[in-house]
Structure 1
């Protein structure tokens, strides 16, 4: 999934979203820290294409977006809202196509502003980025072409702490960054930066009152951090392929950014450093069993403030979870299968 598929809901329960070939399924804690429900289908019985996206607003509601087949050879985007993990999500509702109609153009990304309005981003057939946003009183605005060209791989959408929506994209030899100047405004192309970025490795995180940080892997295999308006910083060698998962959390009284990635050995690698202080350095520590090559990792913070990590393998369906122990450092409980 594009986005954080491990979420803490409004009621404190954790949930996970698990895509299949034709549907999106959800599992949730029956009570915070307690046993989990069986997987159930989200949004009704509509058939979906793989690679959905998820975003979460300050109200902790989950916004889900996916492509669905329409007529032969074509597809359209659909949206659902999931208010609480153990409640049924709204049925999938169509939100259109960036080119009015046609085949899938790219994996969508979704971010939610301070007013709880979902903003859906997707590459269009011209190679740029298009967006559609919810209206404040229901319904959707028209699709907007945000421009750009030669966009590659998945987009990284994020909501900054003031509630303004941003999106990042990889292009050959560089990165593009769009940002809202005010709530409800169309995100403008703020910056284009030259960087040897690998597509499909982007992950963005709100890291200060007025800034977000983009993590990406460069062509040499290093994991880099970039805040628009500054130069990118090489953080450490990437533990493995694909994007990292990232979360802000408190570790031993310090505001830290925690990163996780499936390593080349197959295990989950963790690295933490003081938020926005990349010069402090970071290093990987591996945990858990070796995982299949298609396994992905997600991070969240539970209602007790403890870091939670989960992994899922689409090929095996295996879902594993661990929590931070109540002690100094980043000691984790034994991984358990849900």
Structure 2
């Protein structure tokens, strides 16, 4: 593998942006506002990277498939933006965003909003409020005098809202709050929104961890201290139903997921003992390799980024993490062959927030990071090398 420092990075052309924007982007990413899976491949073969800053959503876009010339950073302001967002991509290539904004009159002073990017490089659609999964409740207390309204004991703030498009054209909004549970609302393929559904999990910690298979069936884990509940659809478009639970210690906020077999997802998180990565397959057949498997990466932070590619002719799962020293580190192993172990290698200098990974239009593994100045750096797999080697980092925005 190739490691390149910032001083060695090539510089691609980029559009002009306010000088203050870079520092805001870096601060937001390092403050935990980087969305998982923030590097995405569009249907036209161009990659897009997404970030946050104080004013709203930020975007960089390849000028052509596989190019080191990018457009951006472009700012899409959102009034009342809180800084945190999540995203997902459906089978049509549409990218869906969920975020939170402050608004007078909204329950608790904030509301969940969603928006859509229908084509690579095109403007986002309007941000639309989708209601509040956890409206503040009030109760009457008569006592010895007149009834009066009093606020219930305040609850911890909700976890990040996840937006999950399934293969039947339905869009699911999944929200969590410790002490209340998991609630979801679905917009059907006909465009009509249903009511909020309760998926239990009163002691849920952090956001749910969704996964949508290539067949379009959606599922998710709802983490709690010491384990997680597992929910899924029987088929795309159907309601979620409880499928079981698993027991395992995990560092809160470190879950990620990826489809590693036909209709089978693998979930990853960090063990609290050393921060090492754990893999788990809820649908692993009985008698197969044990469900909880260590993958190294001790000392890393946050969720790992995941993709799959062929290396030396073998189907491999590739993991990317922010290592103990704040630099990107990468590992690969035969898909669903965690028992063979992994070796982590550094692939860049210190980054702000979490690095991201995706396949580009050529099928080249592409890794992205935001540097400490708020710039976007890209490194691509060298396809002439039979292993997993990377070319130099290119600063594209």
TM-score computed with the length of structure 2 as normaliser: 0.80
- Give 1:124 shift: 3.3
How far, CA to CA, are the matches of 2:326 and 2:369 in structure 1?
11
Aligned partners of 2:66 and 2:362 also within 8 Å: no
1:161 correspondence with 2:214:
yes
Structure 1 CA distance, aligned partners of 2:180 and 2:309?
Answer: 36
Measured in 1, the distance between the counterparts of 2:171 and 2:112 equals 13
Instruction: Please give the alpha-carbon distance, in whole angstroms, between the structure 2 residues aligned to 1:24 and 1:110.
Output: 16
Instruction: State the Cα deviation string for residues 225-270 of structure 1 (Å, max 9, x = none).
Output: 0001442111224351111111112222221110000111222110
Task: Find the aligned partners of 1:98 and 1:90 in 2 and give their Cα distance.
Answer: 23
Aligned to 2:103: 70
Counterpart of 1:7 (choices 22, 28, 40) is 40
Does residue 20 in structure 1 map to residue 73 in structure 2?
Answer: no
1:197-236 to structure 2, matched below 5 A, reads 197-221=250-274, 222-230=276-284, 231-236=291-296
C-alpha change, 1:101 and 1:22, in structure 2 (3 Å) is: farther
Do the aligned partners of 2:178 and 2:204 also contact (CA within 8 Å) in 1? no
Alpha-carbon displacement from aligned partner over 1:74-132 (angstroms, at most 9, x marks no partner) = 21111111112211111111111112468951111222211343222110364311112
Aligned-partner Cα distance in 1 for 2:292–2:229: 13
8 Å contact kept, 2:367–2:378? yes
Between the two proteins, the alignment pairs up a number of residues equal to 334
Report what 2:357 is aligned to.
299
**3-state DSSP of counterpart to 2:200:** coil
Give, in whole Å, the separation in 2 of the partners of 1:321 and 1:50: 23
Residues of 2 paired with 1:319 and 1:195: CA distance? 36
Instruction: Choose between structure 1 and 2 for higher RCO, CA contacts under 8 A separated by at least 6 residues.
Output: 2
Contact kept, 8 Å, 1:2 with 1:107, in 2: the verdict is: no
Closer, same or farther in 2 for the Cα pair 1:89/1:281, shift >3 Å?
same
2:71 paired residue among 32, 37, 51: 37
Write the mapping of 1:135-150 to structure 2, written as runs, cut at 5 A.
135-150=188-203
Task: Please give the TM-score of this superposition, normalised by the length of structure 1.
Answer: 0.93
Q: Which has the larger share of helix?
A: 2
Residue 153 of structure 1 and its aligned partner are, at CA, apart by 2.2
> 1:239 and 1:323, CA in 2 relative to 1: closer, same or farther beyond 3 A?
farther
**Partner residue of 2:346?**
286
Which residue matches 1:273?
333
5+ unaligned residues in a row in structure 2: which ranges? 1-33, 138-155, 285-290
Distance in 2 of aligned mates of 1:157 and 1:238? 24
Higher-Rg structure is: 2
1:13 Cα shift? 0.6
2:369 is equivalent to residue 336 of structure 1? no
Structure-2 change in CA distance of 1:145 and 1:58 (3 Å): same
User: Which aligned pairs between 1:49-68 and structure 2 lie closer than 5 A?
Assistant: 49-68=82-101
Q: Give the gaps of 5 or more residues in structure 1.
A: none
